Chains A and B, each alone.
Chain A
Amino acid sequence: MKTIQKLADAVRLYFHYVSLNVRSAMQYKASLLLMITGQLLVSFSTFFGIHFMFMRFSHVKGYTYEEVLLCFAIVLMQFSLAEMFARGFDTFSGTVRRGEFDRILVRPRSTVLQVLGSRFEITRIGRMAQACLMFAYVVSASPVAWTPLRVTTLAMMLLGGAMLFGALFQVYASLCFFTLDGLEFMNVLTDGGREYGKYPLDIYGKRVMQFSIAVVPYAVVQYYPLQLLLGRSANPWLAFCPLGVLPFAAICQLCWRYGVSRYKSAGS
């Protein structure tokens, strides 16, 4: 009971942070609207990339246009959710360099909660709108029958994927404790994961699949549950495959803890 109460309290506090973030963003109306529109438009370029390719080819390794589009919409949604909620990790190098992490440490709350709360990126709604548009199109055009199991699969994929990208942002942030600066190579895993993820992972061959299972578990939130979603497999357990992110997230959390313990404050 007590744990549940604590959790509910943390969630309430988190949404208080979110509300302040949104209120802050609304102070700059023009900037907010332009950012949301920009986010919406940017993703169109990737969409057109897929669209034009399918004007030349009807299949990519057996996947149809609608199937790839569904995959892309899911990955885009996963990534946007992670960016919206875990933006605090993504911009963490600035937090450390400006010495703002000191303030986080003198408050009686978990560091993760405070870092996540410090930045909530409402503008990512633009990119989500794009993902929703594609969803709407795919749902109306594709032959996928939306059984309760498939809807569950979809929800699990979105949650697991958002968690996976969030965990990658957390590792990125943990490195800032040692370098005081963001390491751009991590973007290969985050932005790269999003760009590669627009096609089902098996089209890239064996090596990429191995990497996506053993190193960064993209496959458990994309390729495997997608097989169930597209009716290529009937194994209902694939719906819960995205839970495979949990051990990975736990390791990322340990990295973070270690980073915090090694924190050297900057400035006076």
Chain B
Amino acid sequence: MIRVEHVSKTYRVQKRSAGFAAALTSLFSREYEEIRALNDVSFTIGDGEMIGYMGPNGAGKSSTIKILSGILTPDSGSVTIDGRVPWKNRIEHVKSIGVVFGQRSQLWWDIPVIDSYELLRDIYAIPKAQYSKNLEELTELLALSELLKTPTRQLSLGQRMRCEIAASLLHAPKVLFLDEPTIGLDAVSKIAVREFVTRQNREHGTTVILTTHDMQDISALAKRVILIGRGRILLDGTIDDIRREGANPGGETTDLDQAVANLYRRLDIL
């Protein structure tokens, strides 16, 4: 159970004009602007749910994920995941979550993937028997057997992403955060990732929180969608709610991407 109540987070962002002179001035006096990344955000996610967390770039998606995974501390508000506060009981909390950052790798670049997995086994102190069982299952479902002995740098992006997802699931977490897992993937890899995540959710009851800009990801994976813009929750509903709210002015139905674009413009959150 994930409970987020009235969470706010503000960043100080440095402001300066372009050019060398401005850069020089900024050495001595700086102007800061306060950016409210999250503004009174509340929601609850039950065990085993699959959530699509969407919003334009800079809406506060990554900040939310980082707070939920214990990386950042909010300025105010409370978060509990299975009764634990992520940034206070960091070590206990992160044992039961898995995080995939689509744009960053957690595998060691120059050595075979399996070596990275064995380090993870020791980091999470996974019992040997459970590790072999999990690895076997992940290898089969994500078709990794050919990849495990290859150094990460020689994998294609799609192959690497499959390995990344497996790396985040070796310790069988209860909650999985996927931050843009399909970014830059070809159609085959995207579908493979989606099928795998669906299955993981169905068979292991893993709670999945997914951020993406790919509407097909959302419609394939998430029954529930939370839309965030300018740090506020604007919609918490289903994919059909998005379609309806984002319909063209004439009222005729349109494709999902267009509906989202309409919705973003109408809510003025771009």
* B-binding residues in A (CB < 8 A): 9, 12-13, 16-17, 20, 23-24, 27-28, 98-100, 102-103, 105-109, 261, 263-265, 267-268
* Complex Cα gap A264–B104 (Å): 17
Residues of chain B in range 54-106 having any CB-CB distance to chain A below 8 Å: 57, 62, 66, 69-73, 90-92, 94-95, 97, 99, 101, 103-104, 106
A60, chain B: closest CB distance, angstroms: 42
B123 and A109 contact, CB distance less than 8 A: yes
- A99 to chain B: which residues have CB within 8 Å? 104
Knowing A27-B111, A105-B90, A106-B94 touch, does A264 contact B123 (C-beta < 8 A)? no
* Complex Cα gap A106–B68 (Å): 10
Residues of chain B in range 87-144 having any CB-CB distance to chain A below 8 Å: 90-92, 94-95, 97, 99, 101, 103-104, 106, 108-111, 115-116, 118-119, 122-125
- B92 to chain A: which residues have CB within 8 Å? 108
- A108 to chain B: which residues have CB within 8 Å? 91-92, 94-95, 123-124
- B95 to chain A: which residues have CB within 8 Å? 108
* Complex Cα gap A108–B108 (Å): 18
A-B contact count (CB 8 A): 69
- B90 to chain A: which residues have CB within 8 Å? 105
A107 and B123 contact, CB distance less than 8 A: yes
Binary flags per residue of B197-209, CB closer than 8 Å to A gives 1, else 0: 0000000000000
- B71 to chain A: which residues have CB within 8 Å? 102, 105-106, 263, 265
Partner of B115, one of A9, A13, A20, A100: A20
* Complex Cα gap A13–B123 (Å): 7
Tell yes or no: B11 within 8 A of A by CB. Answer: yes
* Complex Cα gap A105–B110 (Å): 23
A25, chain B: closest CB distance, angstroms: 8
Task: Give the nearest-CB partner of A13 in chain B.
Answer: B122
Task: Give the nearest-CB partner of A101 in chain B.
Answer: B71
* Complex Cα gap A12–B125 (Å): 11
A176, chain B: closest CB distance, angstroms: 16
Task: Give the nearest-CB partner of B91 in chain A.
Answer: A108
User: Which 6 pairs show the lowest CB-CB distances between chains A and B?
Assistant: A24-B110, A27-B110, A108-B95, A268-B62, A108-B91, A105-B71
Partner of A20, one of B57, B94, B108: B108
B111 and A24 contact, CB distance less than 8 A: yes
- A109 to chain B: which residues have CB within 8 Å? 91, 123
* Complex Cα gap A16–B120 (Å): 10
* Complex Cα gap A103–B168 (Å): 11
A9 and B97 contact, CB distance less than 8 A: no
Tell yes or no: B151 within 8 A of A by CB. Answer: yes
* Complex Cα gap A98–B109 (Å): 15
Task: Give the nearest-CB partner of A23 in chain B.
Answer: B111
7 further contact pairs, Cβ within 8 A, besides A103-B99, A265-B71? A12-B122, A24-B110, A27-B110, A105-B70, A106-B71, A109-B123, A267-B103
- A265 to chain B: which residues have CB within 8 Å? 66, 71-72
Most buried by A among B70, B92, B108, B118: B108
* Complex Cα gap A263–B67 (Å): 12
* Complex Cα gap A28–B115 (Å): 17
B97 and A106 contact, CB distance less than 8 A: yes
* Complex Cα gap A178–B125 (Å): 32
* Complex Cα gap A120–B48 (Å): 40
- B119 to chain A: which residues have CB within 8 Å? 16-17, 20
